[in-house]
Each structure stands twice: as C-alpha cells, then as structure tokens.
C-alpha cells in the first residue's frame, strides 16, 4: 500500500527523538509539511536539518517550499503550557489547515513502590501525560474541525493495559490518555475527525537502553513476548502513518497494541533493577518510620 501525504500539514509532538522522529521522517518522505515540537530546541533543529528542514520558527517564519516538496520545520514548546500548544497548532496549519497530529510527547518522573512515590513528581507526570494530552487534543481538535476533518493519533503504552509494577504514575496516566482519545473520537466523529491511539510495547529508543542492557530484564521481556524480537520505532511509525492516511478513513476510537504480542501475557518484572535500591521489603510496600 502506498500512502501519499502530498500538500498536507501535520504536527508531531515529541518529534525530536524516538517514535516522533520516525513518524516525522515517514511523513516528510511522503511529501508532507511537518512541524516537530518538543522541549529541546537544539535536538529539534538537528532532526529538522537531517530530514531536510528549515529555520526555527521563533527566529522568523520559515518559508515553505513548493507543494510536494518534503518539508520539516521545528518549534520548541512544552505541552504542559497551553498557550505554547495553541501557538504550535497555529504554526502547523500555516498552509491554511491542519490535516493530522501524532502526539508522542510524554514520560514519567516516578519509579518505585507506590508507598514511596514522590507526590510532587507524581503531579508533574500527571501534568505532562494527562493535562498535556488534553491541551494537544483541545487545540488540535479545534483546528481539525475547522479544516473539515483529519486524524489524531496518540501514543500511549502497553503500561496502560498491563500492570507494570513500580512504574508509578506512568501506567495510570497512560490509561487516562487512552480514555481521552476514545472520548475525543466519540465527540469529534460528527466533524469527520478520527482519533486513535497506539500502545507500543518494548521499543528500542534511548529511554529503554537500560532495559535492553540488563540481561535479567531483557530475558523477562523475551519470555513474555510471542514475537522473538524487540520493537523498533519504525514498527510504531508505520501504524501511525496508516492511521493518518485515507486508507484508515473508517477507523476511529481504537487503541491498538504494537507490542509483539506482549499484551497477551504480563507486564515486566523489574525486581532485578529496583530491589537493590528499595529492598525486597520496600518492593512489597514496607516503609520504615
């Protein structure tokens, strides 16, 4: 199946690395105008340059090339800042309308037993994953409706569906992301806006390097994943591009696992990584006075 995105405009949050970068590369190669957004201006500039991009938007409005020419622009923005999100959506629609969004930005500041979670870090993670997703959905949704429709794809996690012990706020907030995506799909379908989610499993990015470097954790993932390999960012990007395309025009409200089948089994056992820090008793919730 050939997917063409000629003369269409897309916004990618978290576009400076990992899955977001892979989606931006795929869209640009297929002829789209892409705006990548993230917190790290230098990283965004480097990625945009690698993908044939132009000047940073806050140094003056970037001039787009002729229709059909791959373009990647970049803008530093924090999704927890609603005004910054609104500005990014407006910039992405420079041609007159926004055709789609892939929302990859997210993360977590909490790890360890729930009885020992830092409450401030919990709140920051909720702000990033839940409130940040709401900001992007709210403002991108407005633009997609004004343009007559489009596609929104949110990147969730297998941690939303399979419990990941000691992952703190990450799993609960990704579950909230899933529900937000389904809610938006139900509300915005009448305006021809499709909203879907992707739950990646263990995918090779900078963030999971410590897992892949650990023999114990790598083996635990292996025995709980039917397909015998680690996921790659292109595995996730491929589905994202399909969901953005006209080939998926009758698909909305779905949250699809791309996890090698791990969702059929159980979440990972991080005992080997966390027991040295928290102790065996700590992992079962014991907290000293």
Q: Which residues are catalytic?
A: 170
Residue 95's Cα: distance from chain center in Å? 24
- Tokens representing 268 are 């990972």
- The Cα 149–Cα 8 span in angstroms is 12
- The Cα 289–Cα 281 span in angstroms is 13
274: DSSP letter: H
- The Cα 262–Cα 257 span in angstroms is 9
- The Cα 239–Cα 197 span in angstroms is 10
Question: Edge-to-edge strand order for the sheet containing 193-200?
Answer: 71-76, 33-38, 9-13, 100-103, 150-155, 193-200, 255-258
Please identify which residue in the block is written with the tokens 């990033």.
128
Please identify which residue in the block is written with the tokens 């373009």.
71
């Amino acid at each position: 199946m050939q997917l063409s995105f000629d003369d269409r405009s897309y916004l990618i949050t978290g576009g400076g690395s990992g899955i977001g970068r892979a989606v931006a590369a795929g869209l640009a190669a297929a002829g789209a105008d892409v705006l990548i957004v993230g917190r790290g201006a230098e990283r965004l500039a480097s990625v945009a340059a690698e993908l044939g991009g132009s000047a940073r938007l806050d140094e003056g409005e970037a001039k787009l090339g002729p229709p059909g020419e791959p373009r990647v622009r970049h803008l530093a923005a924090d999704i927890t800042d609603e005004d910054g999100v609104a500005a990014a959506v407006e910039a992405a629609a420079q041609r007159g309308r926004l055709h789609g969004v892939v929302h990859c930005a997210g993360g977590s500041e909490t790890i360890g037993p729930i009885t020992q979670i830092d409450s401030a870090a919990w709140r920051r993670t909720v702000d990033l994953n839940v409130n940040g997703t709401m900001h992007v959905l709210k403002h991108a949704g407005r633009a997609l409706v004004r343009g007559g429709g489009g596609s929104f794809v949110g990147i969730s996690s297998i941690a939303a569906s399979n419990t990941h012990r000691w992952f703190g706020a990450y799993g609960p907030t990704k579950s909230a992301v899933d529900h937000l995506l389904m809610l938006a799909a139900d509300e915005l379908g009448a305006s021809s806006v499709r909203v879907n989610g992707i739950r990646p499993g263990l995918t090779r990015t900078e963030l999971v390097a410590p897992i892949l470097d650990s023999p114990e954790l790598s083996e635990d993932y292996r025995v709980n994943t039917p397909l015998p390999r680690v996921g790659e960012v292109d595995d996730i990007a491929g589905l994202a591009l399909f969901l953005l395309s006209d080939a998926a025009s009758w698909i909305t409200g779905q949250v699809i696992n791309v996890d090698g089948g791990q969702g059929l089994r159980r979440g990972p056992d991080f005992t080997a990584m966390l027991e040295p820090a928290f102790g065996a008793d700590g992992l079962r919730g014991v907290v000293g006075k």
